Structure 1
Amino acid sequence: MTVSDISIIKSAPYAGGQRFGEIGSYTEVDLTVNFEIGPDDYAHQVIADLPLCKESDQIVRFSSDAKILIPENGNNKLVLDVPNRGRNLILKMLNNSPEVSSSSSGWEPGNAFLLENGYTLTWCGWQHDVPDTPGLLTIKGPQPFQNGSPISGKITMTIQTNELTRYHLLSERGHSPLPAKNVGESAAILTVQENEDADPTVIDREAWNFGKEQANKFVPDPNYVFLETGFEPGKIYRVTYTSVNTIANGIGLLATRDWVSFLRNGAKGIECSTLDTVYGFGHSQSGRFLRHLIYLGLNLDAQNKKVFDGIIAHAAGARRGEFNQRFAQPSSAIKQSKSNLPPFSATTPDSLNHESLLDAQYERGGVPKLFLINTASEYWWAHASLSHTTPDGQNDLEPDPICRMYFYSGTQHSSGKFPLTTKDLGNGVESETYFNFIDYRPALRALFIQLVNWVEKDVNPSDNRVPRIDNGTLVPYHALRNTYKASNVIPDPVHIKQISQMEFSDLEDDIQNVPKFLGDPLPVLVPSVNDSFNEYSGITLPEVAVPLGIHLGWNLRHARIGGSGQIIGTIGSSIVPAEPLQPKEDYLKLIENEFERLLKEGFALEFDRKYIINEASIHYDAILQLQ
């Protein structure tokens, strides 16, 4: 049993019926998909609390939102984009579509890269706690019961704000909260610390409560935590309390598995051509989701047929996520989390007598071809180095031959932010230096084509391109801090997120989602820099190879939002030069030469020649105006 039935909510021409060359137009279909998991499904062995969700007939049932874009004359290939907090990202990442805003839905065709190549595109909701907002894809499922009652337990929620506020939702990013079971819980604890390295201080229980402020009055509310003196921006608060688990959140992994299986095995009820090849794409949280799916061995469906032929886990670092546990916060990025447990690397199983991300999938079969791609940011805040080094940071590791690993030199988590800015008005973040403006998406498009050729034509992709210990291009971050000082312009990254060896408790009286024991910190190794203070050991895009300034994968919180010296995890830096620029014509010639280099290496497409040169021209003009 997998997909039991579908309900089509909307079927209409996509993008107003726009035609995409020989492919023709696309049809946009919105659906609700109902799933059934039988008692003999492998999922019961690996999905937390799934057996506690069975109905009287021993079936587990749940439903997801889904969307599919179907081409008129497609190439019979499917790409599933794992929604990121309910949103589509592949159109932004591969098609350069605009981000969601007051003037954009986020679903525009952009440069039509995927559409003009005839790919069928789909999305399936997997995250249970995304906000109830139109356009976001979610999943609804059963609540696990144990001995006839919902499961309760102690959990910890981390809070860091960018402005002073007296109350905060018990969740991250405005998602559905994990409510307090009892707003008067006397044993609940709230702590505060200046940064991740500082010791926490317990705040007097009389000074805070569960609730919020309405009309200048405190109102009890199990979904919020209230602090009389206010949560100070930049400081790190952690509240430990008793909550009730609402869902077996690992069903999101099953929804993804079974939706793809349904589409590639007939797609009954949907007018869709036969699909013979399937790719999975996930950026950031969604990339970690795909790492987790492989870790659990879920790339075989309920009939033991392969789900994905190829996967790109993009900007995921060495992490997985809270995608299969009680009291899960799937959007959490805290360091003391089960999402930061090994295995980190995708080595050949048993090759070095330690765990691999691929162990379960190799044991079951159905291992896909796998691209693990990171930006520079992931080395600074998501421990990307652990995906290709030993856990002690002393030696390089080679990935399994079914896997390739790449990194973009001098880039931030989400592709470059331009026009130049130090503020994100959406979340209140403000940085010390300009956000990194390097756009790595041309390289991502080229890598996508390399994966396609590997899967469909057995053409080997480019060799791994990551920094390494053995050649000195991967170094301890504290060593690079000393190098940065010589620049006289790079700020000092004093406080970073550094994970440790962790042990979690299974005892009901212990906190469920943070470790009971913390061991030694794991090493943070980062890409080294050249004489211009720019990285060079990865896929080096033209504007990093011939830089106008310094481009880094990290930035620091501005003093105005508190937390001075703390790294902002996903935001990089572009530090523009004060000295006069070379003539623009000469500069753009260098950019074109570097594009030719990338083209020969397979890390750029002719499709992007004009785009790359034009972007460099625009950035040159913007920097010139600052001088």
Structure 2
Amino acid sequence: MRRICFLGGAALLALATSAQARVTAIHIETRTPAPTKPGERPYEIITGTFDGDLSPTRDAIITDIAQAPRQANGRIGYSATFAIARPLARGSGVLFYDVPNRGNGKVAPDEDGHIRVISGWQGDLAPAPGLQTATVPVAKGLTGPALARVTDLSGSTWGLTGGIGRPVPRPLPVDLDPAHARLYRQASDAAPLEPIATSQWAFGDCRTTPFPGTPDPARICLKGGFDPALAYTLVYQARDPLVLGIGFAATRDLVSFLRHATVDDHGTPNPLSGQVHWSVVSGTSQSGNFVKSFINLGFNQDEAGHRVFDGANPNIAARQVPLNLRFAVPGGAATLFEPGSEGTLWWSRYADRVRGRGTHSLLDRCTATQTCPKIMETFGSTELWGLRLSPALVGTDARADVPIPANVRRYYFPGVTHGGSYTGGISLDGDKPWPGAPVCALPNNPNPSLPTMRALMKRLVAWVSTGRAPPPSQYPTLAHGDLVPPHAAAMHWPAIPGAPVPDGKMNDLLDYDYGPRFDYPDLSGVITQQPPAIRRTIPSLVPRVDRDGNETGGGVPSVQHLVPLGTYLGWNVLAKGYGAGGPCGFAGGFIPFAATKVERLAKGDPRLSLEERYGSHAGFVAAVRSVAAQRVRQGWLLPDDAARLVAEAEASPVLSSASR
């Protein structure tokens, strides 16, 4: 059952006077001038930590908060890091909060004079220089099932960690008896879980000692070693969970303090007192999922009933963040058995009859308290292929478009990988792999989304601060025939010699049963069934494509997409390791066009060559210049980004004499 609180004026006043959840102390550690160029507005960078306390009654929606240790005042304490870039002159009055992704983030001067703020929210990250972290209490004595999973592992010892990018230790087991846990192996995600006999493994470290090794609650030793061709899943009884859902409250309370407070409880001045008139939050990928959950769980209302964020941008955020759970792993990425897509996915109320979860929306709580922000949702192709976003558009039955309310804009970036190209240049051979990227069969997709995002973020700030509405939403819909099943025939995929087909490249959305204590719409509570039972596969749709294989229909295409050098894909093929031949994580691919008609005909490629499209290098540059100017006029591109793109086209080897 959803815990939605409908508050009237008297109740809001009571909350405001009770001061139940707030920042109690702010500790400024450094204040340093930011390097600037002549003529730029001066900035200072402020770093430090803050302390807060919470009422276990008011914030009862936080899983396990009732079992967290109390301070002398009966409240629950926590602390977190922060960093602020503050303009010393000509500030805009806008606080722009960037949610850190796995603790990563930095602040710097803003070209528009905004205050930039980041802070820690992920309590399972170990403190480290430059990392944004939170320190949250442990609910000692609580237990429950936990799950850890690993692929591509060799050797005899598995160190139990969770998440990607910055793996964190998994919670400790209640005891080291393998009979109280289960270890499975699996040949593929679609294969059944095969139990491994308890005599063949131990909670231990075999790196220097033969099996069963040195007893160790944080490691698994497997007799005979791990096979990198298999996946291994451990289910065990864990103890003493961190109360990680406090991360939502920590963000709420810091931003509320910076917006409204004069001093903390000890008389330390608020470094932004009187300077904040509007606030906007943006999160990308994992941190965008955080933004969705933050709004869904009602944290956009502070203790005094104020709206915390006036505007919100969940970017490339396909799910909710699995944070408010016992033994949560908030740093995951939509892999098998991982929660995230069970939570509410819709901005307007939708009846999730397929999964039997009632009617609800992400805005239910903030609508009840009149604290909803203006929302600008942005995402691209890989969020549909690799991160299971489709039901947010068409529901779990995929029969009709789910409408969006008036305070929401949705913009789709056709043919981009997760976050778009990280170099953003004009490329004939794709992006270079980023550190830690999976090994994919196709070159990485070089189609960018950042230039469009820069223009859109200015429109979001204007919407919040002046009321000037951004353009109507632009995204693929069933009503316009843009969305089809993820198969070559339905997509009208061209037969490109030697290229893979999209069939089988979808990361399917599975309907999991996590047990009766799991709150599905809120993605909260306690998982009691591990691994979860799989009840069904939820249908997913993707955009149809043109004769080049590039996505067509609704969206805000980049200049590169409109003046293409190849086929830009939201999917790719894993080249080696566990799952080879299937989806390559959430990396998009690129299939370049042939340079000349002769080359194209020799390959049997049905897509026109660069020569047939643009004639010459000058013709290509002219096409980029024309389309970039058009996008500037339409408001989808900033003039400086347009100039940069034209310069990159001029410097590129596309149809140049040197490339022939």
TM category (shorter chain) comes to 0.7 to 0.9
| Residue in 1 that maps onto 2:117 | 122
In structure 2, the residue matched to 1:12 is 32
Deviation of residue 128 (structure 1)? 1.2
Alignment of 1:138-217 (within 5 A): 138-145=133-140, 150-161=141-152, 166-173=157-164, 174-215=167-208, 217=210
Does residue 521 in structure 1 map to residue 537 in structure 2?
A: yes
C-alpha contact (below 8 Å) 2:505/2:571 kept by paired residues: no
- In structure 2, the CA distance between the partners of 1:270 and 1:165, relative to structure 1 (3 Å rule), is farther
Which of 239, 261, 268 aligns to 1:266? It is 261
Work out the CA distance in 1 between the residues paired with 2:57 and 2:201. 48
Rounded Cα–Cα distance in structure 2 between residues aligned with 1:622 and 1:233: 44
Distance 1:529 1:541 in 2: 16
Aligned positions of 1:578-589 closer than 5 A = 578-580=594-596, 581-582=610-611, 583-589=616-622
1:77-98, Cα deviation, whole Å (9 max, x unpaired) = 101111100011xxxxxxxxxx
Give distance in 2, aligned partners of 1:462 and 1:513: 45
Q: Distance in 2 between matches of 1:421 and 1:339?
A: 31
| Residue type of the alignment partner of 1:151 | L
Q: Alignment partner of 1:222: what SS? A: strand
Aligned CA distance change for structure 1 residues 377 and 350 (closer, same or farther; 3 Å): closer
| Residue from 544, 547, 555 that aligns with 2:564 | 547
**DSSP 3-state at the match of 1:121:** strand
* Partner SS, residue 363 of structure 1: helix
Determine helix, strand or coil for the equivalent of 2:152: coil
Listed as ranges, the gaps of 5+ residues in structure 2 are: 1-20, 264-268, 519-525, 597-609
Structure 2 residue 483 is the aligned partner of structure 1 residue 463: no
Give yes or no for contact 1:414–1:570 (8 Å, CA) kept in 2: no
SS in 2 for 1:64: strand
Amino acid paired to 2:438 = V
Matched residue SS, 1:178: coil
**C-alpha deviation, 1:240, in angstroms:** 0.7
Tell me how far 1:553 sits from its aligned partner: 1.1
1:345 alignment counterpart: 346
Deviates more, 1:617-626 or 1:386-395: 617-626
Deviations 1:529-558 (A, max 9, x none): 111101133111111112111111121211
Aligned residue for 2:67? 52
Kindly provide the amino acid, as one letter, of the partner of residue 152 in structure 1.
Answer: T
Partner residue in 1 for 2:487: 478
Q: Deviations over 1:359-417 (max 9, x none)?
A: 12111220000011111110002222211212100111111111111111110113314
| Cα distance in structure 1, aligned partners of 2:594 and 2:464 | 47
Pick which of 268-277 and 367-376 moved more: 268-277
Mean Cα displacement is larger for which, 563-572 or 473-482? Answer: 473-482
Give the alignment's Cα RMSD to 1 decimal: 2.8
Q: Distance in 2 between matches of 1:515 and 1:206?
A: 21
Structure 1 residues 204-257: Cα deviation after superposition (integer angstroms, max 9, x where no partner): 333332233434654332122333444444643211111114311110000000
TM-score of the superposition, structure 2-length normalised?
0.84
Contact 2:45 2:86 in 1 (8 A): yes
Supply the AA of the counterpart residue of 2:66.
P
Could you tell me how far apart the structure 2 residues matched to 1:169 and 1:34 are? Answer: 30
User: What's the counterpart of residue 611 of structure 1?
Assistant: 644
| 1:108-507 matches, cutoff 5 A | 115-145=110-140, 150-161=141-152, 166-173=157-164, 174-215=167-208, 217=210, 218-233=213-228, 235-266=230-261, 268=263, 269-272=269-272, 274-317=275-318, 319-333=319-333, 334-347=335-348, 354-418=359-423, 424=433, 426-427=435-436, 429-479=438-488, 483-484=492-493, 486-493=495-502, 494-506=504-516
Superposed CA deviations along residues 308-328 of structure 1, whole A, max 9, x for unmatched, are: 0000000001x1021111000
304 and 108 in structure 1: CA distance in 2 versus 1, 3 angstrom threshold: closer
Quick one: distance in 1 between partners of 2:568 and 2:368?
Answer: 42
1:54-133 to structure 2, matched below 5 A, reads 54-55=69-70, 56-73=72-89, 74-88=91-105, 107=106, 115-133=110-128
The alignment-based identity, stated in percent, is: 26
Q: After superposing the two structures, state which structure 1 stretch, 217-226 or 293-302, moved more.
A: 217-226
- Counterpart for residue 49 of structure 2: 32
Do the aligned partners of 1:168 and 1:226 also contact (CA within 8 Å) in 2?
A: no
C-alpha separation in 2, matches of 1:165 and 1:413 = 34
Q: Aligned pair in 2 of structure 1 residues 52, 354: CA closer, same or farther (>3 Å)?
A: same
1:505, distance to aligned residue in structure 2 (A): 1.6
Larger radius of gyration: 2
- For the 8 Å contact 1:417–1:435, the answer to whether it is kept is no
Secondary structure in structure 1 of the residue aligned to 2:235: strand
Shift of 1:51: 2.0
Measured after TM superposition, the shift of residue 54 of structure 1 is 4.9
Deviation at 1:131, TM superposition (A): 4.1
Counterpart in 2 of 1:21?
A: 39
Which deviates more, 135-144 or 206-215?
206-215
Aligned partner of 1:598 in structure 2 is: 631
Alignment correspondent of 1:102: none
Residue 3 (structure 1) aligned to one of 13, 18, 23: 23
Q: Do the aligned partners of residues 480 and 177 (structure 1) sit closer, same or farther apart at CA in structure 2, a change above 3 Å counting? A: farther
Cα deviations by residue, 1:106-155 (Å, 9 ceiling, x for unpaired): x485xx6xx1210111111000122443211111111124xxxx211111
User: In 2, Cα distance between the equivalents of 1:253 and 1:619?
Assistant: 46
Q: 1:267 to 1:27 in 2, by over 3 A?
A: farther
> May I ask how many residue pairs the two structures share in their alignment?
593
Indicate the larger mover: 347-356 or 201-210: 347-356
**Cα distance in 2 for residues equivalent to 1:255 and 1:502:** 30
Deviation string, structure 1 residues 432-476 (Cα, Å, up to 9, x no partner):
111111221010011111111211222221111111112221111
Give the gaps of 5 or more residues in structure 1: 89-106
1:511 offset after TM fit, Å? 5.6
Give me the whole-angstrom Cα distance separating, in 2, the residues matched to 1:480 and 1:50. Answer: 51
Q: Report the alpha carbon displacement of residue 349 of structure 1 after superposing the two structures with TM.
A: 7.7
Whichever residue aligns with residue 438 of structure 1, its letter is: N
Query: 1:20: how far off?
Result: 7.0
* Aligned position for 1:101: none
- Three-state SS of the structure 2 residue aligned to 1:31 is strand
> Aligned partners of 1:550 and 1:162: how far apart in 2?
34
Q: Is the alpha carbon distance of 1:270 and 1:507 closer, same or farther for their aligned partners in structure 2, counting shifts above 3 Å?
A: closer
8 Å CA contact retained: 1:423, 1:430: no
Report how far residue 63 of structure 1 moved.
0.3
Q: Secondary structure at the match of 2:460?
A: helix
Q: Which moved more, 1:175-184 or 1:467-476?
A: 175-184
1:607 Cα deviation from its structure 2 partner: 2.7
Partner amino acid for 1:606?
P
CA distance in 1, matches of 2:114, 2:485: 42
